[in-house]
Structures are given as C-alpha cells and as structure tokens.
Structure 1
C-alpha cells in the first residue's frame, strides 16, 4: 500500500487501513482482482435468480420472504425497498464512521459474495475521494445489518438524496449509479457501518493499550515503585500470555532505571498491573482479529458462490463475534482504567512522591487535586459503557428475525468508552510527568526517556494553581505518539 493510496481488493483490509481511509487524506482505488470477483458474482447471481427463487432478488424481505416479486413489478420493487429502509433516526454519526462504512462496504463488494453490479464500486470510491458522505443517523441497526445506513447510501447514488460534504458541509451533488432493482437488497444487506466503527475502535484500542504501559512506567518511576512484580519468575509461575507481555514491556521500559524501591510492596496499581492490563491487551488483540476477519469476509445473505454456480441463504449477517469481542474489550478496559485512577491517587500523596500534597506549589495549594475528579468522572462512564450490549435481544419482522446481538451498540459503546479512557489516562500522564519534574528526575534512557521528553516538551511546566484542562487535552493527544515510541509488546512464546 502506498502511503497516500489505499487499494481495495476484497481481501487485504485491516483496522489500521480503515482508520487511515476514515481519518486521513488518502486516495481510494479498486484493484482489478476485486472488480473481477465482483463481476463474476454479479453474473452468477443473475443466472441463478433466473432459475430459482433468491431472497431479496425474486422475493420480498423479512417476513415477506415468501412473497414472490412479479416480473412486471421487478423494476419498482428494489426502489421501494430502498425508500422504505432509508429511515434511520436521531443525530448523524461522525463523518469518520461514515467514511469507514463506505470503505468496508467497498471491500466487501470486491470480495465477490454479494452479486451487486460491479459498476457501483467506482462511484463509492469516488465519493470517498471527493469527501462526500451519505447522511447516516445514529439509530437504525441492531447488529444484523446496517440497512438504514446503506439504504441512505443507495438513495444518494440514485440521486434521490443529497450527499453531504458540499460547501459548508451542506448537501452536494455527487457520484451516481443506477442500482439494478434486483441488487437493492444485496447492496444494503451488510454490517459495514457497524464494522467500520468497530475497526476504528479496534485500532484506537490497540494504540491506547500500548500507551498505557508507558504511562504506568512513568508513574512507577515517580513513586519510586518496585520492579520486583515484573521479574520473569513471577510470570513464568502464572503464564498468561498477556500478563507475560505486559511484564516484559515494563522491564524493557525500565531497563535504564533501577532506583531503590520506596517500599517493600506497592499498591495494586503497580504490583498487579501485568495481571490486570494483560487481559486488556489480549482482548484488544482478539477484537482486532475478529473485526479484521469480518471486514474481509464474504458475509452476504444470500451468499453468491461463483465456484458452485449457486447462492446460499445463511446467517453470516449476524455479527455476534464482533459484539461479544467488543463487550469483552470494554470490560477489560474498565479494569485497567481503574488501576490508572488508583495510580493517579498515589501521585497526589506525599508519602509516595516526596512532594507537597497534590504536587502543589505550596502546602495550602490545590495543585493537581482536580485531576482525580476528572479521571473518576471518565472512569464512571467507562464502567457504565462496559455493560455488555449482548445482554439484549429482539424479535422482529413478525417473529421471523428472532435474535439480535446488538454489535452496533457494542461498537458505539466502545467508541465512547475509548474517548473517556483517553481522558483518564491523560490525567495520569500529566501527574506522572509533573511529579518527575518536581523531583528533578527523568528516565535515564531508552524509549521511556523518549516518551518523557516528548511529554515534557508539550506539557506546561508551571506548578502554580491554574486551569489544567489544556494539560489534560495535550496529554490525551500525546498518547498515540507514546504508543508509537513504545510499540506493542511482542507476543509471548
């Protein structure tokens, strides 16, 4: 992949590429192989539909699956389907999530399982390259298909609904394509919006999990914590892979610093960090693997089987794997964020830092007192959002569709939880760097020193009482750069 160009081929998309497509100025192109797969699937779908009933092509949808579409009504059926399903509600989702949706759907179509006319691929790529987006409201999906979002996209292609992204982000004329009526259901039967948001969340989760280790190491230095909890013998005795990786990462970060520990045994925020952060690392990695598998899957219903010259009606539209993986990731995220808040508490204590209470300029000043309130406010949101979305279900369409995993809500909750986590971790970073500065200390070398120097360049060094909101924002913005410096731990053998 060129740095400024992403080639969509139906097989090679990952969460990082989705994030690049959604958040940066890159050109989206379609590979010839992807076009060939889409073309072959379209030809197969038309041939099979001419011989036997195919859901959504020759029949109604949902509870209307048993109703055949008469040939004289075939041209109008698909348009009615799109109009009736473009009925989302609520505020519009963030533009980056819509861009991620278009990127994922483009890749799915190039995978060659939908049977949609391949002519639609270039207009979708053009919309991305022109910065045009369909309007996608928040409410409308439950994890079994982003029907409302993609129906809205289809109406934009048909010219019945305006693209967003014109002058002042208002309505705009954009690329058009006349979807065949028989392709209407095949185009919208996808979880591309849910998966797009899940891909962004998975990429951000990996970044924040890596940055967390660096912040914890800075806090450990600031409180003169013990390195004993990270020695190999401890983790060989309880060999969970994530735990071992986190301990190894802490050893690597602290390799240049071996101050005498301030106490025989530290609080859990330091002593149990590998045991609590390890599950978060593993959950993040698992979630990213699940999402990557899904965005490259031919998860279409019906699935067009080119090799078998047939179609298969199936349940691959159900994203239970994605929802459950994200639910687990949020639970693990809450656990490790609780330790971050606990470490922040030690950074306000003179017995840990050797400074005035709250690292204040004087004994009566407030210093960083408010950071604890901010961090616990953010932690409360992560705790609220950790409730598993999969605990809900639904029975829809006259009882025919009798289950939902709510992966859409799991993705949205993960997006919001990560935003709160960034704030809490940013508070800890502010406190750790300030403590080391006031102590006249800094990491001695290696990537931890690089990370400290980066933070010290950006974070205000003044210690008199003043608003700290800009400090928190700056620290939160630094976290991706810290993650780049530190890197993700290598998997344990």
Structure 2
C-alpha cells in the first residue's frame, strides 16, 4: 500500500515530493489546511458579492488588469484563463514531473491564501492519487507570473478538457476523469488564477534533480576513491589539518568522506612514497567536490523553502482582510538556484572526465593503455573517454545561465521574467549527463583496479564488489553500451557505499 502524506502547506519535504512523484505516495490535506482554504474562499465570495475591484477576481489579467468583469461572467473569466493559457509546446513532461507539480500546487493551496474552493483542491488531489496525469508540454513558461502555460495544461483536465495519461494510456481529459471515477469541475471566481499562478513546474523539476544530485554527490566520491586506489593516489591531501585551515563545510566533509571510504586500503600511498604530489583531479577532490556540496546545501534549503511558499497573485490574508497584489509568482529565486546547481554539478563531471583520462592514458597511469592487455587488437576503454569528453562539453553549453535572460511580455506590463523553468529543464539534463560521465569513470576505475593488488578501502571495496556483481572485467573488446547503461542505472538507484 502506498504511503500517505498529509500536507498543510508548511512542512512538505523534497523527499516527500519525490515519494509522491516516483512511488505514488498518496496526498491528503490536514484538517487545519481545509479550514484555512475555507476561510480564504469566504473572502473571495464576499468580494464578488460586494463587486469589489480586485485583480484576477473581478478584473482581467496581465495588461487587462484594468478591465472590470461583471459578476455574471466571473466563472467564464476563469475558464477562459485556463483555455487561453494552455498553449505550451514540445514533448510532454514525464509522469514523475507532472505528479510533483500537482503535489506542490496542492501544498501551496493548502496554506489558505489562494481563495480556491476545497472541492477544487480535492479534485486535484484525487487526480494525483488515482493516477490521472495531465499531458503537460515542456516548453512555454517564462517563469514569472508563475509557470502559467504548464499549470494551465494541468488544470485543463480538471475541466474535462485537454489530454491525460491514465494507466499508461493517453486519452482525452474527460475520458481519463471518467475512467478514474471522477467528474470535471466548473471553476468559480479566482480559482483559475489560484491554480496557475505559481512556480510549481520549475520547483518540481528542481526537487527531482536535487534528489538525484545528492545521491550522485555521494557516489562521485566513492568512484573518485576507486580511481585514487587504481592510480596509487596520496592520502595526505585529505588530512583534516589541511582542511581545518580553509574551513569550507563542503570541503571538510568531502575530505572526511574520502578518508573514511579509503580506510584500510593497501592501494593508496603516502606523500613521498611514490611521488610528492598528485595531479589536481586527485589532490583537489575535496576542494572541487566540496564546493559542489556547499552549492547543493544552499539549493536544497532554497527549494525546500519554495515548496512551502505562497506563490499566488493576489494573496488573500483572511486574518486581516487584506488582498495584496505583488510578485510572489516570480521565479527568480529558483532560476538562480537551478543555474547555480547546474554549474556545480557539471564540475563533478568535468573533474571525473579528467580522472578517466588519467586511468586510460598509459603515460599518466602506469597501467596498460586504455586498460586492455592486448592494445592494438583491442581498444578497451579508449572510446569511453571520448564519450565522457563529449558529454562534459555538452554540459558546458547547457550551463549558460538561463536566469540572465529576460524578455518583456503582456504588452510590457510583465517586463522582467526569470526563465526559471528553462533553467530547471536544463538542470535535469545536466544531472543526467553527470550520471553518465560518472558511470564511465566507475567502469574504468574498476577495470584499472583489476590490474593491481592489495586490499581496497572500506567504502571502495563495496562499490567495486557491486559493479562486479553486474558487469564482469573487460578481457576482450565487447559492446560497451550495455555495460555503461548498467553502471548508470546503479548510480541512479543505489548508494554505492553506506557507512
């Protein structure tokens, strides 16, 4: 039975978002959240009755914010908003991204500042729990005024429109609702705006990428440790005294982890035993990996905060009766976070590829060229390094920050946008690419270890044994793609070493 996660708008974690997205954990509102939703809804109904002029409730949107809408057309206004804004293009998001978006939007609405009806929120919850997944195109969000186009496609299905995936089959939105035993809803005042004014597309992408990045961070260090052993690296570079005098937390943690996972190794050396210094790709593992650790920590905190934020406009404060129009929908905090993490993760691949080059290059490693005993007849790991080089080069292109761009929209009313969703989409690709590059180093390091002798460290031994359970030593040339795919799958799904 899938676990149940209670949401109140304040305590949703990245791990819980991932559980809903990938493990089909079930959503449920807390009673307090329901009461908060009811209170904010009462505010909207009062404003409509009093015919107050309030943005998005009794007015048009964007440049049309000065157009007052008659009370009898308020419901049509909300439906028109969804239909007109559902104009995304490109391939649809994977189901896990869609589910994360739905969960995050529910959590934002649960805070009780949006003015939506409880039954409308419940329909979104039921769709998520029963597996009605709207088809949401990936392109079309500026990341300010929220992720308008992606979220509009999500809401279309709630209206019995658009398309959805249900039990693996793509079908009309109305058919998907019917198959799941659900009925479409007619939006009332403020509800369309409440559902699409938010950063949930970019935040969903960030949650999933962050979760994967954190595992890659830990696995990268185990793989680096294997390379250290294969190349008889020098342990002194990880001495705590060295890192105490440059006290970046990530650097210190990486150095500590390297010493732990190499504990008991007979393969690594001491300063002066074979050489005085290692090359930077070995010696500077704590400094490079540690900087990525610090970036991950910052972005994790920022995204967790965003998961539990109000990103609507306007925002309704039931305690004071105030309705404030502002810019909480602007994705700049997430745009900068996504670009920062993209750069930080790409560096894990950059330094990994350099270690792979040292493993396969006989002039640098002292090992058989390209890690094969019959060089010439066999190419061994020659082209795997080419592939790693190609992927890190691709990442360098993708790392150009999206957040430095802005294009005015809505007749210049919305004259600065974040491009946060573009940044988050690029980040997802970069994280996938980093996994591929690390998979290549993982395989190469295991192969290089096979040419040496002596006990491996406590952590590296686990990682070596795990890959050898799946992939045998390369004794003669064979198709490398299946091996690399298996290694990549291990990095996606497993922690290579646990203390």
Task: Tell me, yes or no, if structure 1 residue 74 matches structure 2 residue 77.
Answer: no
Q: Per the alignment, do residues 444 and 73 of structure 1 end up closer, same or farther by CA in structure 2, a change over 3 Å counting?
A: closer
Of 178, 192, 196 in structure 2, the residue corresponding to residue 188 of structure 1 is 196
Which residue of structure 1 aligns with residue 206 of structure 2? 198
Q: Give how far 1:214 is off.
A: 0.9
Which range is displaced more, 91-100 or 27-36? Answer: 27-36
Which range is displaced more, 159-168 or 121-130? Answer: 159-168
Task: Tell me, yes or no, if structure 1 residue 333 matches structure 2 residue 334.
Answer: no
- In the aligned structure 2, how far is the partner of 1:14 from the partner of 1:50? 38
Matches within 5 A, 1:146-225: 146-166=147-167, 168-171=169-172, 172-174=175-177, 175=182, 176-225=184-233
Q: Secondary structure at the match of 1:169?
A: strand
Q: Give how far 1:163 is off.
A: 2.5
- Pairwise CA RMSD: 1.9
Q: Give how far 1:437 is off.
A: 2.1
- In the aligned structure 2, how far is the partner of 1:103 from the partner of 1:241? 33
Q: Give how far 1:154 is off.
A: 2.1
Which residue of structure 1 aligns with residue 30 of structure 2? 31
Q: Secondary structure at the match of 2:5?
A: strand
Q: Secondary structure at the match of 1:91?
A: strand
Which range is displaced more, 356-365 or 23-32? Answer: 23-32
Which residue of structure 2 aligns with residue 449 of structure 1? 461
Which residue of structure 1 aligns with residue 108 of structure 2? 108
Task: Tell me, yes or no, if structure 1 residue 253 matches structure 2 residue 261.
Answer: yes
Residue by residue over 1:171-213, the C-alpha shift from the partner in whole angstroms, topping out at 9 and shown as x without a partner, is: 4331322221432212211121121111111111111111111
Q: Per the alignment, do residues 441 and 99 of structure 1 end up closer, same or farther by CA in structure 2, a change over 3 Å counting?
A: farther
Of 390, 405, 412 in structure 2, the residue corresponding to residue 392 of structure 1 is 405
Which residue of structure 2 aligns with residue 491 of structure 1? none
Q: Give how far 1:332 is off.
A: 1.7
- In the aligned structure 2, how far is the partner of 1:38 from the partner of 1:142? 28
Q: TM-score, normalised by structure 2?
A: 0.93
Q: Per the alignment, do residues 140 and 390 of structure 1 end up closer, same or farther by CA in structure 2, a change over 3 Å counting?
A: same
Which residue of structure 2 aligns with residue 228 of structure 1? 236
- In the aligned structure 2, how far is the partner of 1:248 from the partner of 1:477? 27
Q: Give how far 1:351 is off.
A: 5.3
User: Size of the alignment, in residue pairs?
Assistant: 485
Task: Tell me, yes or no, if structure 1 residue 366 matches structure 2 residue 379.
Answer: yes
Q: Does the Cα contact within 8 Å between 2:202 and 2:421 map onto a contact in 1?
A: yes
Q: Does the Cα contact within 8 Å between 1:113 and 1:299 map onto a contact in 2?
A: no
Q: Does the Cα contact within 8 Å between 2:164 and 2:170 map onto a contact in 1?
A: no
Q: Does the Cα contact within 8 Å between 1:290 and 1:325 map onto a contact in 2?
A: yes
Q: Give how far 1:89 is off.
A: 1.5
Q: Does the Cα contact within 8 Å between 2:261 and 2:457 map onto a contact in 1?
A: no
Q: Secondary structure at the match of 1:485?
A: coil
**Unmatched runs of 5 consecutive residues or more in structure 2:** none
Of 408, 425, 429 in structure 2, the residue corresponding to residue 416 of structure 1 is 429
Which range is displaced more, 208-217 or 304-313? Answer: 304-313
- In the aligned structure 2, how far is the partner of 1:342 from the partner of 1:173? 50
- In the aligned structure 2, how far is the partner of 1:158 from the partner of 1:260? 66
Q: Give how far 1:373 is off.
A: 0.8
Which residue of structure 1 aligns with residue 390 of structure 2? 377
Which range is displaced more, 218-227 or 477-486? Answer: 477-486
Q: Secondary structure at the match of 1:155?
A: helix
Which range is displaced more, 67-76 or 274-283? Answer: 67-76
Which residue of structure 1 aligns with residue 92 of structure 2? 92
- In the aligned structure 2, how far is the partner of 1:110 from the partner of 1:442? 55
**Unmatched runs of 5 consecutive residues or more in structure 1:** 488-493
Q: Per the alignment, do residues 243 and 99 of structure 1 end up closer, same or farther by CA in structure 2, a change over 3 Å counting?
A: same
Q: Per the alignment, do residues 350 and 429 of structure 1 end up closer, same or farther by CA in structure 2, a change over 3 Å counting?
A: same
Q: Does the Cα contact within 8 Å between 1:304 and 1:310 map onto a contact in 2?
A: yes
Task: Tell me, yes or no, if structure 1 residue 461 matches structure 2 residue 473.
Answer: yes
Q: Secondary structure at the match of 1:483?
A: coil
- In the aligned structure 2, how far is the partner of 1:72 from the partner of 1:45? 15
Q: TM-score, normalised by structure 1?
A: 0.94
- In the aligned structure 1, how far is the partner of 2:498 from the partner of 2:280? 23
Q: Give how far 1:444 is off.
A: 4.1
Q: Secondary structure at the match of 1:178?
A: coil
Q: Give how far 1:94 is off.
A: 1.7
Q: Secondary structure at the match of 2:116?
A: coil
Q: Secondary structure at the match of 1:418?
A: helix
Which range is displaced more, 474-483 or 197-206? Answer: 474-483
- In the aligned structure 2, how far is the partner of 1:310 from the partner of 1:260? 67
Q: Give how far 1:484 is off.
A: 6.3
Q: Per the alignment, do residues 67 and 157 of structure 1 end up closer, same or farther by CA in structure 2, a change over 3 Å counting?
A: same
- In the aligned structure 1, how far is the partner of 2:330 from the partner of 2:387? 38
Q: Give how far 1:161 is off.
A: 2.7
Q: Secondary structure at the match of 1:279?
A: helix
Which residue of structure 2 aligns with residue 59 of structure 1? 59
